[in-house]
């Protein structure tokens, strides 16, 4: 945020089309949280709860606004009939968590009476929401032993793998990943499972992570994988670069280093700015929009609200392949970057569904 610009919550809401921002404070537990609801045209808002030690309140607000808008787009493009929402808790996830704090959050979620559902995100885990569930039923992604669908990293990686095959088909003419060189950044819960799919298909893998234990785990599980230092991954000569860790990694510094034909991964908000998507398009690097590629976890937790069916959730996640094919088609037909093509798809869907819902269907 430029220092000479006066920050306005309502100004940002108007700019991006947000419906509601709720500030929650509980003196007893120290809870400081913000719930942002972006758009509920398709249905109740859905989006995880992030806990982070934000430097400023403005940073926390902007994160909630940005992430909730992203969830609207992710739901719409994935054919999930929910809108976008997000919760952020201001605090250190290592030091400041308590059962009481998440119970307090649960009471505020409950006041929305189903207008918004939440679950895990960066800095939170399933057991945090076991605490919140003592005060509200409007939660998703609980551990299996507490009635939830369990670890969403598995289906997220599956969706990225399917999306990567679709991307390969567009970029190379075949959806086989065998013998392609794929550079994988980030070997956490999702990255590890993605590497497993790629390894089993016969891809040549070059991987990295900022945590040595993650690198060691992957090397032991998948012999023959090449590893590089974190700062070297951007310049690796490869067919596909796959970001599965940090956001904003496609930027002015990294784009000149890329030596790949396509980019697809599980990381959120990988374009530092939208103009970086324009630059990729101009350079002929095929970009699979992140909120499409990583939608598997969303598909899983949304399925819980119908009564979780694993086969159905994985079938829906496999459709990421077809969704990307459609986005690539729009991109070529209109000669626009793929991120804009994805937005076109989303905005048309929201507009059409909004018109359908305006019709009287009887009492």
Active site residues: 86
In the block, tokens 């709860």 appear at: 49
CB 194 within 8 A of CB 242: yes
Count the neighbouring beta carbons within 10 Å of the beta carbon of residue 302. Answer: 24
CB 302 within 8 A of CB 291: no
Using alpha carbons, select from 206, 346, 214 the residue that is nearest to residue 289.
346
Residue 25 φ/ψ, nearest 5 degrees: -135, 130
Using alpha carbons, select from 150, 95, 88 the residue that is nearest to residue 121.
88
Structure token digits, residue 186: 């980030």
Instruction: Identify the helix (H) or strand (E) that includes residue 324.
Output: helix 320-334
CA distances from 333 to 132, 163, 326, 330 (A): 47, 20, 11, 5
Using alpha carbons, select from 27, 47, 271 the residue that is nearest to residue 141.
47
CB 84 within 8 A of CB 75: yes
């Amino acid at each position: 945020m430029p220092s000479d610009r006066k920050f306005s919550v309502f100004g940002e809401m108007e700019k991006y089309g947000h419906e509601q921002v709720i500030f929650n404070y509980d003196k007893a537990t120290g809870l400081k949280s913000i719930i942002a609801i972006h758009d509920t045209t398709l249905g109740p808002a859905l989006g995880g709860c992030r806990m982070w030690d934000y430097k400023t309140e403005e940073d926390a607000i902007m994160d909630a606004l940005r992430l909730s808008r992203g969830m609207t787009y992710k739901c719409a493009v994935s054919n999930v009939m929910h809108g976008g929402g997000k919760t952020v808790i201001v605090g250190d996830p290592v030091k400041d968590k308590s059962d009481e704090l998440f119970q307090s959050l649960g009471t505020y979620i409950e006041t929305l009476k189903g207008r918004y559902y939440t679950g895990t995100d960066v800095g939170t885990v399933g057991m945090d929401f076991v605490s919140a569930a003592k005060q509200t039923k409007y939660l998703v992604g609980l551990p299996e032993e507490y009635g939830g669908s369990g670890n969403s990293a598995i289906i997220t990686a599956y969706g990225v793998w399917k999306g990567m095959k679709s991307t390969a088909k567009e970029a190379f003419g075949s959806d086989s990943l065998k013998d392609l060189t794929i550079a994988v950044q980030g070997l956490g819960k999702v990255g590890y499972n993605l590497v497993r799919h790629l390894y089993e298909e016969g891809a040549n893998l070059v991987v990295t992570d900022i945590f040595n234990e993650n690198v060691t785990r992957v090397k032991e599980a998948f012999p023959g994988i090449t590893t590089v230092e974190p700062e070297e991954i951007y310049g690796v000569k490869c067919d596909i670069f796959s970001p599965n860790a940090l956001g904003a990694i496609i930027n002015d510094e990294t784009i000149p280093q890329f030596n790949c034909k396509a980019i697809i991964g599980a990381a959120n908000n990988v374009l530092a700015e939208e103009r970086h998507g324009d630059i990729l398009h101009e350079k002929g690097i095929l970009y699979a929009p992140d909120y499409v590629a990583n939608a598997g976890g969303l598909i899983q937790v949304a399925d819980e609200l119908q009564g979780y069916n694993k086969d159905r959730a994985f079938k829906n996640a496999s459709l990421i392949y077809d969704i990307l094919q459609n986005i690539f088609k729009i991109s070529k037909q209109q000669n626009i970057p793929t991120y804009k093509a994805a937005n076109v798809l989303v905005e048309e869907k929201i507009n059409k569904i909004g018109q359908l819902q305006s019709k009287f269907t009887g009492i």
